[in-house]
Structure 1
Amino acid sequence: MENIVPREKWLYNDRGMMNWMWWILADHSAYLESEQKHQQINPVKPEMTIAEINRLLQSNWQQRMAITIQLNVIRQDWYAPAVTGTVVGFNDECTYLQLTDGALKAIKVQTIRNVSLADRTKWWLYDDSI
């Protein structure tokens, strides 16, 4: 059964499906954003010694500062994407990071290539005015 309402009794001017064109669902946009992050080419940072890495991880753990860790893992001829988060603890030879999305990640110290402070500049602080 079809309910046909005459155009003069419509509450608003419906443009049909035109109002849905080019809209992206939240799940789809999150997927596209994560894929874009995975496809970015990561610059190769200098390799650090285990002593330097341990010292930086310890100091960042005490100061609760966000860090970026580049792993010494190569995928398809490129280094794996860097991991950004806050050090929340240590266990044996693992370091535990709380990522920016709230998830916890365990990283073995032997797989770390470089540790640096994370860039926490917000996008709205950039002055791109001409």
Structure 2
Amino acid sequence: MYDDESAREIFLEAKREYKDRGMMKWIGFYLSDHTALLAKDNQERYKHNPQKEQQDLETISDYLSQSYLNDLRVAIQLEVLDSEHRYLDDLIGKVIGQKETRIYLQTEDAEILHIELDQIRNVTFLAANKLWPKDVQRDA
């Protein structure tokens, strides 16, 4: 039976002695995958969403109403910052309902978001998306 120290010594000795040239070909795959992952991570980490103009509640309500009535896609920037004081990505979708001070936004992947009006900083219209699901359901 080996204790931890003797097992560690045997492992290190085997590692020094063993030479597997067949593994060299895999290092290139590892490096390319690793660098691609690092590049993606850096892109996310240093992504900057610019601060959009603060719209008044009347303008926001008008845009949201037009989105609902005309089945238009909108991009909504919330007045929410991440831990590094950057604005989050815009919420993109169609307004499918409103109740008091809350709207319901259906995203392109069919997720329903509940958003308080006082959290919204800016609303802009987006071009129609041909891939939008046909079965958008609306609240009454």
TM-score range, shorter chain: 0.5 to 0.7
The match for 1:14 is none
Q: Deviations over 1:73-112 (max 9, x none)?
A: 1112111211000000001211100001111001100000
TM superposition score normalised by structure 1 = 0.63
Structure 1: which 5+ runs fail to align?
Answer: 1-16, 123-130
Q: Let me know the Cα RMSD of the aligned residues.
A: 3.0
TM superposition score normalised by structure 2 = 0.59
Whichever residue aligns with residue 74 of structure 1, its letter is L
The alignment partner of 2:48 has SS state of coil
Q: Deviations over 1:104-126 (max 9, x none)?
A: 0011000000000125579xxxx
> Percent identity, aligned pairs only?
25
Distance 1:37 1:61, change over 3 A: farther
| 2:60 aligned with 1:65 | no
In 2, Cα distance between the equivalents of 1:37 and 1:106? 25
Matches within 5 A, 1:91-130: 91-120=99-128
Q: Which has the higher helix share?
A: 2
The alignment partner of 1:43 has SS state of coil
Distance 1:37 1:65, change over 3 A: farther
8 Å CA contact 1:38, 1:81 repeated in 2: no
Pick one of 86, 96, 109 that aligns with 2:94: 86
Structure 2: which 5+ runs fail to align?
Answer: 1-24, 131-140
